[in-house]
Amino acid sequence: MHVLTVLDHPNPSSFCASVAREFMEGAKAAGHTTELADLHAEGFDPRWNAADIIANEGGEMPVDVLTEQARIARADAICLIFPLFWWGMPSMMKGWMDRVWCWGWAYDQLDDPELSMQRPRSGVLLVPAGARSDEIIDDGYLDAMETSWIKGTFGYFGLSPRKLILLYGSTGSEERRKALLKQSFDAGYTLAPANP
């Protein structure tokens, strides 16, 4: 498969950047080709704007959106990597999703989140989170993310199968971080094929 990794982090030495590297190494070790969209390094503008509205109404698509859509078009699998911020995604990833996966290209209906205009692609979210697993699961945050992302969003994108992997305790000990990087490698190595 051709695997697109989309990274939202401004620091190339960050834990998130290491997660992206490990995931791609795992994917390569399994025989996949890889491509990285490093949104901060590339200066992607995440602000949904007037040109996007015109495009949604049938006008010309902004060039930066077309570039991202071409990347998606050649991918068979997509991995999104971003740090958990306020139990959600940071603004760069959010804006990339808002602008790129737009009405008329990704979906053209609101009633069925399992219908997409895109072909099925394997999808995985690798999300480093500072909190421990019990803090995230017991208080319902994981369920909330599963509902809004896995149930409510990524079906519209055609991601099937799709999986949310929270990397709990990402700000913890070196040992902990090493284990999370191994988990990231394994996520690339064991990437499921897209559903037919």
Smallest gap from residue 142 Cβ to ligand FMN (A): 11
Which one, 119 or 182, has the nearer CB to ligand FMN? 182
Sites for ligand FMN among residues 41-70 (CB under 6 A): none
DSSP 124-135: EEEEEESS-HHH
Among the residue ranges 22-30, 42-50, 122-130, 183-191, the one whose residues contact ligand FMN (CB under 6 A)? 122-130
b/e map 144-173, b = 16+ CB within 10 Å: ebeeebbeeebbbbbbbebbbbbbbbbeee
What is the rounded distance in angstroms from the CA atom of residue 103 to the CA atom of residue 100? 9
85 binds ligand FMN (CB under 6 A): yes
Among the residue ranges 31-39, 57-65, 126-134, 142-150, the one whose residues contact ligand FMN (CB under 6 A)? 126-134
83 binds ligand FMN (CB under 6 A): yes
Sheet holding 77-81, edge to edge: 33-38, 2-7, 77-81, 121-129, 159-168
Which one, 171 or 190, has the nearer CB to ligand FMN? 171
189 binds ligand FMN (CB under 6 A): no
Judged by the rule CB under 6 A, the positions of this chain that interact with ligand FMN are 9, 14-16, 83-87, 128-131, 170-171
